[in-house]
Amino acid sequence: MSKLHQTLQLAKERKEKIFVPYIMAGDGGLHTLGEKITFLESVGATAIEIGIPFSDPVADGPTIQKAGMRALNEGVSLEDILEELSTIRKKTNIPFIIMSYINPIFSYGIEKFQAKCHEAGVSGVIIPDVPLEEMELLNSIYMDEEISIIQLVSLTTPTERVKKIAQTSQGFLYAVTVTGITGERKEFSDQLNSFLELLKANSSVPVLAGFGISSREQIEEMNELCDGVIVGSKIVQSFHENKLQDIEQLTKVTTN
């Protein structure tokens, strides 16, 4: 059982809402990664999703795309990030989740990536461009009890497929709350309530809502419907603009 799974299950049992902020590794320089993680842990994050910069991020909106390009311009690589996390892990106990497209992992080597995740204390992985049908590509990681592979499911996913994905996801089930890319939204689909109810009814792991969530009001709204949230673009932009107080306002954990 991974550290991520243990942490999130404990939060759920305690009726604590889960908050997972997303940051882009290398944005602002790789030397800032530890500072960001330490800050997010200090203000109440449950786990931290760490993005790997990639030149063709098909699921990411403008804010995260720009952050990824800034990181790539710094010369940051997947190996650099994992090495840095190995150092950071000695100073923190919060679960790390890597979010990467498959190309950087495939180029690096899946077995090598898996081994480095262990060294870096990574206990969760999100790879949005590997569909359920191709999961055997990651079978060694999927069978690894110390690393959870998190699945995404969207509003347009057919019900039967939702059930399959929900039963496969480890750590938590990532509910994509919009039909599109990441980025701030002012409102959500009328279908969202029933969608999240369907996920909760079919998932044995916590259901977290992500994409488009950028305000405390939206977090409170989502917390009424599922087990917690993932916030990305707002966190990334706030770090870029050094508006740490905006992040702190978002990370105030609520209970049922």
For the annotated catalytic residues, the residue numbers are: 49, 60
Q: Tokens representing 79?
A: 């190996």
**How many residues would you count in the chain?**
256
Q: Tokens representing 141?
A: 């990681």
Q: 216-225 vs 192-202: helix axis angle to the nearest 10?
A: 50
Contact in structure between 60 and 182 (CB atoms under 8 Å) = yes
Contact in structure between 149 and 105 (CB atoms under 8 Å) = no
Contact in structure between 177 and 154 (CB atoms under 8 Å) = no
Question: Using CA atoms, how far apart are residues 251 and 46, in angstroms rounded to an integer?
Answer: 9
What is the per-residue DSSP string for 122-144? Answer: EEEEE-TTS-GGGGGGGHHHHT-
Which helix H or strand E contains 66, and what residues bound it?
A: helix 62-73
Residue 133, exposed/middle/buried by CB under 10 A (0-12, 13-18, 19+)? exposed
In this structure, what are the phi and psi dihedrals at residue 189, rounded to the nearest 5 degrees? Answer: -65, 150
Question: Using CA atoms, how far apart are residues 196 and 167, in angstroms rounded to an integer?
Answer: 15
Question: Using CA atoms, how far apart are residues 48 and 90, in angstroms rounded to an integer?
Answer: 16
Contact in structure between 124 and 4 (CB atoms under 8 Å) = yes
